Structure 1
């Protein structure tokens, strides 16, 4: 896996896009506790574990 530093704007965009996907019914990739129901919290959890299926392309 190639790691790159993301700007705070890229990070916010990725987490927001993934939270929207989760809110619209996309499956959650990781097992989360039953009390974690907020899509933003789930998206942040997935981001911190590096499993969000979204890539960044810079021009």
Structure 2
């Protein structure tokens, strides 16, 4: 598996896009406690666990 070093802008874009998906009703990929309801917090937890199904394509 290849790990990319993401810029802060890429990280923000990924978390924001995933939070929007969760807010619009997309299923949450990981098990979280019921008291976490904020889509941004859920997206950040998914990002930290490397389970967000979003890829980055860079022009190099």
TM-score using structure 2 length: 0.97
Q: Which runs of 5+ in 1 are unaligned?
A: none
Count of paired positions: 59
What corresponds to 1:35 in structure 2? 35
Q: Which runs of 5+ in 2 are unaligned?
A: none
- The CA RMSD measured in Å over matched residues stands at 0.4
1:51 aligns with 2:51: yes
Question: 4+ residue stretches of structure 1 with deviation over 6 A?
Answer: none
Q: Deviations over 1:3-59 (max 9, x none)?
A: 010000000000000000000000000000000000000000000000000000001
TM-score using structure 1 length: 0.99
